[in-house]
Structure formats: C-alpha cells, structure tokens
Amino acid sequence: MRRKLIAGNWKMHGSLADIGTFVDGWGDASKVDADWLVCGPFPYLPELIKRLVPLGIAVGAQDCSAQASGAYTGEVSAQMLADIGVSHVILGHSERRAYHQESDALVLAKVKQALAFGLTPVVCVGETLVQREAGETDAVVVAQLEAIIHALTDAELQQLIFAYEPVWAIGTGLTATPEQAQAVHARLRASLAERSEALAVEMRILYGGSVKAENSAALFAMPDIDGGLVGGASLTAQDFLAIGHSME
C-alpha cells in the first residue's frame, strides 16, 4: 500500500530565521497518515536536518550534480548531500528544465548519481500550457518518464518517487482539477506497469502545482495521487501542516 507523501519545495526562499519560525509553528502532525519532506536551499540543509528531522520531517535538496566529484565549480554532488544526512533530492523540476536547459539525459545522469549515494530522487515531469492545449500532455509526460525508467534497473526504480507537475499550475494559483491530475497519474502508472506491474503498484506519484489546504483533500483522494509536491504552501508550518490535516 502506498503511503502518502507531503513534500515541500522551498525553492530559493527562506532564511535561518524562517527555519526557526517554521519549527516554532509546527504543530501536532501525529494524526496525519503521511510522510513529510522539506526540500530546502543548499546552505540551509544542515540547519533543516538539525531542526526538522526530530519533528519527523525528512530533508531533501532541490538538485544535485550529474558528476561524482571534481573540477565543477558551483556544483554540489549527491555524495556531499548524503554525507550531511540529506535523504531526498528533487530532480528535473520544470524550473531547472526551463532556466538551466536540463534535458532528460541530464536529469537521468543526476538520478543515477543520487541513487549511487542512497538518495531518493523525486523526479518531476509535466507539460506546458501550450503542450496541454495541443493535446500533447500524455506524450510529453510519458516521454519524460520513460527517459528515466528505461535506463534503470527494477531495483533502482524501486527507490524513485515521481511528481507530476503541470508547468502551467506551478506558482500560478491554477491547479489541475482532481480529475485532470488523476488522468495523467493513471497514464504514468500505466507506463510503469508496462515495465513492471509490481513497480507500478508500489511507485509513489505526487501531484504538484498550487497545492494548498483548500484543494489537497480532493486531489489526494484520487486513486493514483500519492501526495503532493508543494511550493508556496510549504513555506509556513501552518499552511504546510494544514495540507496534512485536510486529509483527516
């Protein structure tokens, strides 16, 4: 049975003071039947690990290098992340695909690095508005998914989490309806099933795109939606926790 995951993506937001405020504002999550994850900016990861892991919130990064080590100025390796206690890493977020020209091949190389050092990759796929309006949603997301799964073993795939994030819904206030999101999640799971039925049943597929407490219960009630990747509404403890409580 897949357990829900509520994952926050802080993007390039936050400060040491904000982490303190988040921790002070975190309430009782004991009744929320879900795993929690916050993916923070690199400089704050040690502080996030120190302060959030004791609250039952895993800590992830938002990217890692496709290289193992060496003369790659500005890069952060998967090994370094694992070394400091990071457990997850978002890879292939649409903002990295758009602003840093990340191709499927580069995302795959990063996934392999993450897996080599025991990190759980949260691999993002999603279509733009132009692609959706052209009827290309399924083709786009399936191609992004297959570029990853074809190059990995079943054992490696068992370590992955996918996130369906329609680009037009990220940070825009527009959300896919539960039915729209479910249709894409079901399509992704069907692709996984072509590879392995067992894998498809076990794989967590998150939905991301303007998730908040007002829409999360309906989204997470869909049979193939296993939680959320949450940007804006993960920045305060109150908003983030409210997403969990919406499932009660």
- The residues of the shown chain that bind ligand PEP, judged by CB under 6 A, are 9, 11, 165, 170-171, 208-211, 229-233
To the nearest whole angstrom, how small is the minimum distance from the Cβ of residue 160 to ligand PEP? 17
* Closer CB to ligand PEP, 128 or 196, in the complex: 128
Return the amino acid letter for 68: A
Instruction: Please provide the size of the chain in residues.
Output: 248
Q: Which two tokens stand for residue 118?
A: 């025991």
Least Cβ distance, residue 90 to ligand PEP (angstroms): 8
For residue 197, the minimal CB distance to ligand PEP (Å) is 29
- In angstroms, give the least distance from the CB of 234 to ligand PEP: 7
- In 3D space, the residue among 76, 66, 21 whose CA is nearest the CA of residue 45 turns out to be 76
Distance CA 84, CA 49 (A): 9
CB of 27 to ligand PEP, least distance (A): 21
The span from the CA of 154 to the CA of 147, in Å, is 14
Q: How far apart are CA 174 and CA 37, in angstroms?
A: 23
User: Amino acid identity, residue 5?
Assistant: L
**Marked catalytic residue, from 93, 95, 102, 185:** 93
Which amino acid is residue 192, in one-letter code?
L
**Closer CB to ligand PEP, 161 or 233, in the complex:** 233
Looking at residue 79, its amino acid is Q
Distance CA 174, CA 198 (A): 33
Nearest to ligand PEP of 29, 126 (CB atom):
126
Query: What is the maximum alpha-carbon separation in the chain?
Result: 49
CB nearer ligand PEP, residue 51 or residue 96: 96
Minimum CB distance to ligand PEP smaller for 57 or for 198: 57
Q: Which residue's beta carbon is nearest to the bound ligand PEP?
A: 231
Distance separating the N- and C-terminal Cα atoms of the chain: 18
Query: Are residues 144 and 188 in contact, defined by beta-carbon separation less than 8 angstroms?
Result: no
- The question of whether 136 is a catalytic residue gets the answer no
Active site residue 47: no
Active-site annotation holder among 95, 102, 127, 165: 165
Which 3 state secondary structure label does DSSP give 121? strand
Integer Cα distance of 29 and 31 in angstroms: 6
Q: Which residues are catalytic?
A: 93, 165
